[in-house]
Structure 1
């Protein structure tokens, strides 16, 4: 791949353009808002000047509702040898293109499973896709050259290719991406009118659950409008669990011992099923989930403290597998939770204590 045209210079389009440009591909940028294309170009993602002729790859990074029309225009104009899109839904755009009667041998639908709460070119980074799954949905009609271009794009962005059927992809993202967004927003919405004293009690748990609730509502309306059926199916199952859990909690208020026992059993059931589902989420580098030991250390909110604690862990010969920081409300301190292999936890704890760190139980 020597040349590419990226249509749509939001977070995903600009990030892909930055990755391609950084690896020697001549990237041309186009957006319905020329100012966004100029911004992406100023960031080093390519040039906002039109290509002189057909490019090797046309990458369409526009909202799902506009994917089919944008691709149809590009294909009809012969802008490239291969055409990909990066929309978060795949079945709908594919069917829209088929209904237009276009030759789709040069088209392949894709979806990088990566993003941020922020949007727009200024949020873009060249490493956004590194190590992340990038779904490819080829059909029997997809030209081999186009599939190779898609695989090259994924490799240049240092992502991991995953081949799926388009409709299977849409059902999957309804479960692992679209429904979590809505549930996160619903929980966060409970905070809008909450008493200030309750909000001040927010800890890491509520921060984890509501992190993605900060996402752009307009963007998510477009995404959910393109995949409403599968999302509604998943939410229907969640709603059934909610109804059962509400009944179980009400039973716990009963004066009848048998009802309280049934209520406790119902709550435990949903919690255990949650444990089982969480255990299936892939762990580090996509491997099977690993249970790590947590070493919690009190840390002050001062420059260089995180670097110092990581350096001390390195001197002890311990690899930090994951890290979380829980901030103390109203204080210039917090807990840094270092996740390590269980066998390494005692060694790390002693080494950090020897270097003056204060450990806490979690």
Structure 2
């Protein structure tokens, strides 16, 4: 059953990707979940896949917890409405920008729309999980497993409400991080919003690219542009809400681009090559600071590349032989060779096990590059 610290039933207001995934995860944990959404079709899909019961099917229900999973541009409004409509409930939201919503709640207190006691029941949160796909059909209950879930309480937040927010995150398998709303917004501007902008800008350059050129693309381009497939309407709201934090970072990126452009305009000038090398090295240094496996310190792994046919069962067969060798796979990715029906399976292992794995796979008949 769901932990007692999570007051039930849990009402999820918004049945998009995240709201529906929360419903699925809570239902799997045994919680009583109610769902509502302005879109009848989105709500119906969420109900049909088992994320919860439609709110209108539970007349008189008194939610103990309300999760606001509405679009970012109306989240603050829905939070205030929830605090007024459900006076006994803890209300939390999962929007990706926090300071603007906290300001709306504070403004509602000042206007008399809600009381300070109501505001104390509100907790801003942000699960750092998602997908370039959207809508309830893309939802899955395991979406938040091992993902960071930021809780942004204030000095006036009821500790019991904070406990409820943290219990919700843990019930869904996430890892709780406490931050202020301002620190959260500054952090996501760099680690989430800037990558989205960069991916979209790079991908926009591909619109008129000849097909013959795109046929040469490998994992480098795919990795860089994967999140460019995200929902434009959602990102309009996110970027507009966090514009002040993002702008400062973009100014820095512009300085780096101007510096690179000036260097590339005369690449044989004295010091030009050194400047290019320094720019790449600065990228190396930044990349090296990204946490490694399980959030631990960054660690370099060795790659063992195996050529496999593009036929069913090849990847599972390779992994079976890796397991038989008693070697743990630290990471895995697949690249495809243009024009050939083969793939290159890149297996990351601890450096000291690289040769051992290469020898073991070769002995099983695999072509190791």
Band of TM-score, shorter chain: over 0.9
2:202 corresponds in structure 1 to 187
The alignment partner of 1:58 has SS state of strand
The answer to whether the aligner puts 1:299 opposite 2:308 as a matched pair is yes
Q: 1 CA distance for matches of 2:300 and 2:87?
A: 50
What are the Cα deviations for residues 109-144 of structure 1, in whole angstroms up to 9, with x where unaligned? 000001100000000010101111000000111111
- In the TM superposition, residue 233 of structure 1 has moved relative to its aligned partner by 1.1
Q: 2 CA distance for matches of 1:71 and 1:49?
A: 17
What aligned pairs does 1:186-225 form with structure 2 within 5 A after superposition?
186-225=201-240
The answer to whether the aligner puts 1:83 opposite 2:98 as a matched pair is no
1:320 corresponds in structure 2 to 329
Q: 1 CA distance for matches of 2:322 and 2:348?
A: 11
1:140 aligned to 144, 147, 155, which one?
A: 155
Q: 1 CA distance for matches of 2:143 and 2:86?
A: 29
Does structure 2 conserve the Cα–Cα contact (< 8 Å) formed by 1:115 and 1:128?
A: yes
- In the TM superposition, residue 266 of structure 1 has moved relative to its aligned partner by 1.1
- In the TM superposition, residue 319 of structure 1 has moved relative to its aligned partner by 0.1
The alignment partner of 2:307 has SS state of strand
Does structure 1 conserve the Cα–Cα contact (< 8 Å) formed by 2:24 and 2:51?
A: yes
1:110 aligned to 125, 136, 141, which one?
A: 125
1:13 aligned to 13, 16, 19, which one?
A: 19
What aligned pairs does 1:219-298 form with structure 2 within 5 A after superposition?
219-252=234-267, 254=268, 259=269, 261-298=270-307
The alignment partner of 2:266 has SS state of helix
Does structure 1 conserve the Cα–Cα contact (< 8 Å) formed by 2:13 and 2:70?
A: yes
Which blocks of at least 5 consecutive residues in structure 2 are unaligned? 1-5
- In the TM superposition, residue 283 of structure 1 has moved relative to its aligned partner by 0.7
2:366 corresponds in structure 1 to 357
Does structure 1 conserve the Cα–Cα contact (< 8 Å) formed by 2:72 and 2:234?
A: no
- In the TM superposition, residue 79 of structure 1 has moved relative to its aligned partner by 5.8
Q: 2 CA distance for matches of 1:9 and 1:346?
A: 49
The answer to whether the aligner puts 1:22 opposite 2:37 as a matched pair is no
The alignment partner of 1:115 has SS state of coil
1:159 corresponds in structure 2 to 174
What is the RMSD computed on CA atoms of the aligned residues?
A: 1.1
1:56 aligned to 54, 57, 64, which one?
A: 64
Q: 2 CA distance for matches of 1:116 and 1:329?
A: 27
What TM-score, normalized to structure 2? 0.94
Q: 2 CA distance for matches of 1:158 and 1:79?
A: 28
What are the Cα deviations for residues 126-179 of structure 1, in whole angstroms up to 9, with x where unaligned? 010111100000011111111111111011110000000101100110000001
Q: 2 CA distance for matches of 1:208 and 1:264?
A: 27
2:189 corresponds in structure 1 to 174
The alignment partner of 1:12 has SS state of helix
Q: 2 CA distance for matches of 1:49 and 1:221?
A: 30
What are the Cα deviations for residues 209-255 of structure 1, in whole angstroms up to 9, with x where unaligned? 00000111111111111111111111111111111111112221x4x
Q: State the aligned residue count.
A: 354
The alignment partner of 1:126 has SS state of coil
